[in-house]
Amino acid sequence: MSRPEIGLQVFVLDTPDPHGLAAFYAALLGWDIDPAATDGDWVQLRAPAGGGLAFQRAPRHVPPSWPGETVPLRAHLDLAVADLDAAERWALRYGAVRVIGPNSSPTFRTYRDPGGHVFCLVAG
């Protein structure tokens, strides 16, 4: 049996505030909100190369508590950046919070978005 064609359409983050979290990532990444794929409970961003991020209303969503693992970290975004310091200033400007975790590295830094989801800026 040959592999059927399967591709990633969109990565979805649960949040009590889909419009607010979409605005954060739109500013951070410079992507546009797709009005054709947006309603009161769902907001989708278009990536320039296709696919993108979506934000789904989940009123009882509890963000991970990493580090500490009361609520385990199940997934996170790694975002490629050319200048780690400049990207950090940009992310903090829009509401990201730096997380100091157990894995310090000169090539990546960990943050929380305004909804509490973990993401990393990765120099590359």
Q: Are residues 3 and 52 in the same domain?
A: yes
Residues 1-31: tens digit of each pLDDT: 888 686 778 899 999 999 999 999 999 999 9
Threshold 0.85, pTM exceeds:
no
CA 90/CA 103 separation, integer angstroms: 22
Q: How far apart are CA 49 and CA 57, in angstroms?
A: 25
Residues 56 and 66 in one domain: no
If one counts every other C-beta atom within 10 angstroms of the C-beta of residue 18, the result is 24
How many Å apart are CA 41 and CA 65, to the nearest integer?
Answer: 24
Of the three residues 60, 77, 107, the one that is the final residue of a domain is 60
CB 110 within 8 A of CB 118: yes
Render pLDDT for 40-98 as a digit per residue (tens, 0 to 9): 899 999 998 888 899 999 998 888 777 766 766 678 888 999 999 999 999 999 999 99
Q: Are residues 71 and 95 in the same domain?
A: yes
Rounded to 5°, angle at Cα 89 from 83 and 94: 125
97 and 47 assigned to the same domain: no
Q: 123 and 74: one domain?
A: yes
The verdict on 82 and 37 lying in the same domain is no
Distance, CA of 61 to CA of 71 (rounded, Å): 11
- Are 53 and 7 within one domain? yes
Helix, strand, or coil here: 37?
A: helix
The parent domain of residue 29 ranges over 1-60
For residue 26, give the CATH number of its domain: 3.30.720.120
Q: Do 73 and 99 share a structural domain?
A: yes
